[in-house]
């Protein structure tokens, strides 16, 4: 009798798309929020496919514990949580899930910009918790996005989605990639390429949209913060380690930059206590793609990647 492929889904994500797309597979799925690492290691030896989730490292040890593993399907666009090189050495395919996360992550980036610039969370907390707050024409002032310059670092799909929204808010857009976009793309997004140091020194808001690599780790550090304007705002919805958090706390505390909106952190879910005490930073718990609709669509895309592999085809979102 044919043994169905076993698919390990270690975290309680929407499972119905997997049932619909992979009806001939045996799904191993937690009844609570997530399997423990020990439970994952117990299930792995029989699995053909594994779904990896950001925040949980897929280490060389886990991969070695799975002799039948053929594909790691990442539930998210970034896949720095997976030891891709070790998977490649073992002949294991790695896929990601880029498209569903684009629009919601861009939405959150704009939400953080608005929140920090217009001091929404700060004023909301003051009203709700009885902090001293004066009402008046020249009280509680903030800054508009209209007419401001947005510097996008990483003009990929999410960066472009942010640019579209920024244009609707009356902002001008400059960007930095390793290589400039085509003239047609620059015209479409009304965007101008700048060297990173020029972008940092001229932008009112800097929004990060780069993957975490050896080149981008601590891209934002004490030196680059000093290149920014003292009125500038930093937004990070990319990966936490793109920013040196110690340097950012210093920059926010001493007025090197005016504020920040962060959805990602160097050591998630830990956030430095000094960061939590700052009034000029808005924090969210890695929720860039955390909408109900997006989570369902992500499950669909991940299941489709696994389906393609099982059917002998190249998965549509293969990264290794």
CATH of residue 46's domain is 3.40.50.720
What's the distance, Cα to Cα, between the start and end of the chain in Å? 32
Whether the Cβ atoms of residue 147 and residue 140 lie closer than 8 Å to each other: no
The reply to whether 254 and 209 lie within a common domain is yes
The reply to whether 90 and 60 lie within a common domain is yes
Domain assignment of residue 87, yes or no: yes
The reply to whether 121 and 191 lie within a common domain is yes
The reply to whether 88 and 157 lie within a common domain is no
**Residue 211, pLDDT score:** 95
Residues of the chain with pLDDT under 70: 1-2
The reply to whether 117 and 17 lie within a common domain is no
- Of these residues, 122, 149, 286, 307, which one is catalytic? 286
> For residue 260, what is the DSSP state?
E
> For residue 58, what is the DSSP state?
B
Domain assignment of residue 318, yes or no: no
The reply to whether 226 and 110 lie within a common domain is yes
Judge whether 239 counts as a catalytic residue. yes
The reply to whether 191 and 87 lie within a common domain is no
> Cα–Cα distances in Å, from 222 out to 211, 246, 281, 314, 319?
20, 9, 17, 43, 33
Judge whether 286 counts as a catalytic residue. yes
Domain assignment of residue 182, yes or no: yes
The reply to whether 92 and 141 lie within a common domain is no
Domain assignment of residue 167, yes or no: yes
- Of these residues, 86, 99, 268, 295, which one is catalytic? 268
The 10s digit of each residue's pLDDT in 40-79 is 999 999 999 999 998 899 999 999 999 999 999 999 999 9
Domain assignment of residue 246, yes or no: yes
Whether the Cβ atoms of residue 295 and residue 303 lie closer than 8 Å to each other: no
CA pair distance 155, 151, nearest whole angstrom: 10
The reply to whether 187 and 116 lie within a common domain is yes
**Residue 54, pLDDT score:** 87
The reply to whether 132 and 17 lie within a common domain is no
CA pair distance 30, 248, nearest whole angstrom: 38
Full domain range(s) for residue 164: 101-279
**Residue 205, pLDDT score:** 98
Structural domains in the chain (count): 2
**Residue 131, pLDDT score:** 84
The 10s digit of each residue's pLDDT in 152-163 is 999 999 999 999
Judge whether 245 counts as a catalytic residue. no
The reply to whether 64 and 107 lie within a common domain is no
pTM for the structure as a whole: 0.94
**Residue 130, pLDDT score:** 86
- Of these residues, 119, 122, 176, 239, which one is catalytic? 239
């Amino acid at each position: 009798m044919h043994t169905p492929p076993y698919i390990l889904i270690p975290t309680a994500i929407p499972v119905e798309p997997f049932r619909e797309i992979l009806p001939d597979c045996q799904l191993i799925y937690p009844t609570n929020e997530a399997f423990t690492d020990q439970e994952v290691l117990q299930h792995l030896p029989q699995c053909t496919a594994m779904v990896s989730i950001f925040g949980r490292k897929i280490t060389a040890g886990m991969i070695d514990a799975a002799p039948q593993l053929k594909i790691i399907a990442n539930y998210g666009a970034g896949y720095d949580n997976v030891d891709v090189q070790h998977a490649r050495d073992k002949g294991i395919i790695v896929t990601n899930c880029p498209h569903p996360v684009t629009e919601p992550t861009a939405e959150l980036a704009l939400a953080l910009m608005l929140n920090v610039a217009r001091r929404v969370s700060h004023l909301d907390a003051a009203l709700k918790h009885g902090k001293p707050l004066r009402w008046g024409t020249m009280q509680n002032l903030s800054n508009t996005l209209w007419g401001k310059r947005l510097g996008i670092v990483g003009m990929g799909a999410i960066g472009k989605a942010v640019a579209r929204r920024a244009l609707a808010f009356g902002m001008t857009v400059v960007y930095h990639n390793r290589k400039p976009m085509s003239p047609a793309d620059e015209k479409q997004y009304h965007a101008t390429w700048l060297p990173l140091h020029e972008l940092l020194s001229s932008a009112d808001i800097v929004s990060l949209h780069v993957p975490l690599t050896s080149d981008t780790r601590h891209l934002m550090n004490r030196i680059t913060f000093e290149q920014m304007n003292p009125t500038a705002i930093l937004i990070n919805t990319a990966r936490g380690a793109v920013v040196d958090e110690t340097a950012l706390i210093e920059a926010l505390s001493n007025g090197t930059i005016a504020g920040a909106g962060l959805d990602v952190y160097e050591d998630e879910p830990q956030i430095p206590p000094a960061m939590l005490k700052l009034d000029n930073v808005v924090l969210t718990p890695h929720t860039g793609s955390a909408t109900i609709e997006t989570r369902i669509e992500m499950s669909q895309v991940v299941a489709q990647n696994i389906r393609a592999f099982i059917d002998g085809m190249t998965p549509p979102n293969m990264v290794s």
